[in-house]
Amino acid sequence: MTSLTTDRTQAAVSLMESLPAVNWDDIESAAEVTERIAHRLGDDPELLNTLVERVRYTPELREKCECHALDDKIVIWDDQEKGLRIRLRLANTDQYERVHNHRYSFTAYILSGAYRHTLYATDQPLDETADVERFWPYFVREEPQGRCITLDHEQLHTTITEPETISLMIQSPARKSRAFMIRRADGHVWWRLGAAEESEERRREVRMTDERFEHWIGRLKALGVL
Amino acid sequence: MTIQESVLRYGDSPWQRVDLYVPAEGPARSAAVIFHGGFWRHDRIARDLEPLAVALVRRGCATAVVEYRPAWDGGLWPAAAEDARTALGRLDAGGAPWQDATIVGHSAGAHLALSAVAGQGAGRRVVLLAPVVELAYAAAAEVGGKAVGHFLAGHLAAGGTAEEATPRPSQADLASLTVFEAACDQAVPAELTEHQLSGWRERGLVTDHHVVPDARHMHLVNPERDGCAPVLTLLAGAPVSAEGSVS
C-alpha cells in the first residue's frame, strides 16, 4: 500500500470507530442515527472505496462476504458492541416474491437501482404450519435510488429488485435465531439461520470467492458507487 | 395538558435543529434548554430526551432540546460547540420563555452547554447532569472510550490541546451552577466529577452539588426513574399536572 492509501485507510477506520452505539430497541431513534450514518458513508464514494478495499486484507471481514441465491454481500464494518454491522447488499439476479422477516432490524440506503417494496400482514403462525395464502400485502411502494428505509426485524416484507441494485445496509445484532421465509408461488416455508448456526459445508458454499469479490469491485466502480 | 411541539432549524444539516415542547394552554412557569449527551458521537440523540421534555412541560416548564452535529457528521470540535452557541443564540433571540431558560447539559452535553454560555456574560442558570467537561482528564480516564480523541481529532492534529477545547465560563456567565452526580454512574467516574467540581470552585464559580443515590447515568434524564425526580423538581419546581397528549 502507498502512504496515501495508508493515510486514507487510517482516516476511514478512525471515522468508523467514532460512530455511535445504536439503540435498536427504539426503532425511530435507530432510524434517525443509522440513516445519517448511511448517508455519511454512501454519499462519499472515495470513503466507501477505501472501506471496501480494506476488506481484502481484513480476514474477519473478508470471511463474512457471501453469495446467496438472490443477493451477495460485502461486509465493510462489524462492531456488535455498538450494534453496527455495515455491508453492501448486491442483488445478483432478478428477484421473486419471497415474503420474509429478518433476524435483525436494519436500515437500507439504495445507492444504485430501486426496490419494489411490499409490507405484509398475516394471521398465521410463523412456522412450518403457516398457510402461505394468508399473507396479505398492505403497503406497496417504489423505493428509488437515494431512499433510506429502516425496518424492524419482525416486519414481513419483500423487496423486488433489478439485478445490480446496490444497497448500503446497517443492521442490528441478531434479535432472534432464525428468519422466517415463504415462497408464495409454491407454498414453500423455510428458515434462514445465522452464520454461527450454519454447518461448515454451508459456510463453504456461501463464502464469496476472490474472483466474485473482484467482479463486484469492478461493477461497483462502474456503477459509481465506489 | 396538551403539549405543543415544534422544530426550530438553525443550520443546513438535519442535525442542526431544536425540538421545542411548550404547554398549549397559557405561558410556561419556567423554561429549560437541554443539551443531550452521547459522547459527541450520538450514542444518545435529542429524540431520546422527549420523555424528559414531556415530563417537564407537564410540570409547567417549557423545554427545548438541542440537536447538534456529531463528530462523525460535521461536528468535530469546534463545530458542535458552535452549533450549541448558535442554537442558544437563536432561542434567546426568540424572546420568552427561552431567554430566561435554565441551561441544562447531560454527560458530554454538559461540555456543549458550558461552551454555549462561556464568554457570553449573560448570567445564566446552568444545571449539569453527570457532566463530562474537562476533556484532558476525560481523555486520560478513557471516559466514553476514545470519544474525546475522536471529537478533537482535527484540533489535536493541528497542534491544539484538550485544554483549549474545555469551556471556561466566568462568574459573569453564570448566575448559578448546579451539578447532579449519579451515585452509581457507570459512564462517568466520580473522580472526574470531583476533579471538575474542584476546578470550578477554585475559579470562584458557586457550585451546588447533589449526589443522587442509587442513580445510574441515564436515570438523571429518565422521568420513569426515581433519580430524575430531583432534576424535575429543580427545573420545574411544580408537581405534575393531569395526564395529557402531545400535539
Contact B154, B72 (CB under 8 A): no
pLDDT grade for B246, boundaries at 50, 70 and 90 = very low
Instruction: Note the pLDDT of residue A84.
Output: 96
Q: How far is A26 from chain B (nearest CA, A)?
A: 9
Q: How confident is the model at residue B20 (pLDDT cuts 50, 70, 90)?
A: very high
Asked if the C-beta of A90 comes within 8 angstroms of chain B's C-beta atoms, the answer is no
High-pLDDT (> 70) share of chain B, %: 96
Q: What percent of chain A has pLDDT over 70?
A: 98
Q: Is the minimum CB–CB distance between B72 and chain A shorter than 8 Å?
A: yes
Distance CA A210, CA A208 (A): 7
Tens-digit pLDDT profile for residues A13-44 = 999 999 999 999 999 999 999 999 999 999 99
Residue B244 has pLDDT above 50, yes or no: no
What ipTM does this complex have? 0.90
**Section A80-103 average pLDDT:** 88
* A:16-55 residues touching chain B, CB 8 A cutoff: 17-21, 23, 26, 28-29, 32-33, 36-37, 40
Chain B contact for A81, CB < 8 A? Answer: no
List the single range of A153-162, B9-18, B103-112 with lowest mean pLDDT.
A153-162
Q: Are residues B73 and A36, on separate chains, in Cβ contact within 8 Å? A: yes
Selected residue of B73, B107, B150 to mutate for chain A interface (largest A Cβ count, 10 A)? B73
pLDDT at A97: 75
User: What mean pLDDT value characterizes chain B?
Assistant: 94
**B48 and A32 in contact by Cβ < 8 A?**
no
User: In this complex, do A20 and B72 lie within 8 Å of one another by their Cβ atoms?
Assistant: yes
B35 contacts chain A (CB < 8 A):
no
Q: Which of B51, B47, B169, B186 is nearest to B110 (CA)?
A: B169
Distance of CA B153 to the CA centre of its chain: 22
Confidence of residue A201 (pLDDT cuts 50, 70, 90): confident
Whether residue B42 lies within 8 A of chain A, CB to CB, comes out as: yes
Q: Kindly state whether B134 is in contact with chain A, defined as any CB-CB distance less than 8 angstroms.
A: no
Q: What is the pLDDT of residues B71-95, one digit of tens each?
A: 999 999 999 999 999 999 999 999 8
Q: What is the pLDDT of residues B198-216, one digit of tens each?
A: 999 999 997 899 999 999 9
Q: Is a pLDDT exceeding 90 seen at residue B70? A: yes
Chain A CB contacts of B38 under 8 Å are 20
Q: How far apart are CA B37 and CA B105, in angstroms?
A: 7
Q: Does position A140 have pLDDT exceeding 50, yes or no?
A: yes
pLDDT surpassing 50 at residue B243: no
| Alpha-carbon gap, residue B29 to B57, rounded angstroms | 9
Q: What's the pLDDT score for residue B25?
A: 87
Q: Do A21 and B45 touch (CB under 8 A)?
A: no
What is the average per-residue pLDDT within A175-199? 84
Between B239 and B210, the higher pLDDT residue: B210
Query: What are the structural domain ranges in chain B?
Result: 3-236
Average pLDDT value for chain A: 92
Question: Among A142-146, A186-190, B137-141, where is mean pLDDT lowest?
Answer: A186-190
Give the angle A169-A17-A78 at the CA atoms, nearest 5°.
40
Tell me if the domain spanning B3-236 has CATH number 3.30.70.3040.
no
Q: How many CB atoms lie within 10 A of CB A76?
A: 25
Model confidence at B242: pLDDT above 50:
no
Whether chain A has a CB inside 8 Å of the CB on B150: the answer is: yes
**Range of lowest pLDDT (A156-165, B153-162, B219-228):** A156-165
Give the closest of A23, A28, A40 to B72, CB-based: A40
**pLDDT score recorded for residue A196:** 72
Confidence of residue B230 (pLDDT cuts 50, 70, 90): very high
> Nearest CB to A18: which of B14, B48, B150?
B150
Sheet containing A66-67, strands listed edge to edge, beginning at the edge strand earlier in sequence? A66-67, A71-79, A84-91, A166-171, A106-112, A148-151
φ/ψ (deg, to 5) at A115 = -115, 150
Q: What does the angle CA B180 – CA B181 – CA B185 come to, to the nearest 5 degrees?
A: 145
Give the mean model confidence (pLDDT) for residues B122-138: 97
Domains of chain A, each with CATH number or no CATH: 3-222 (2.60.120.10)
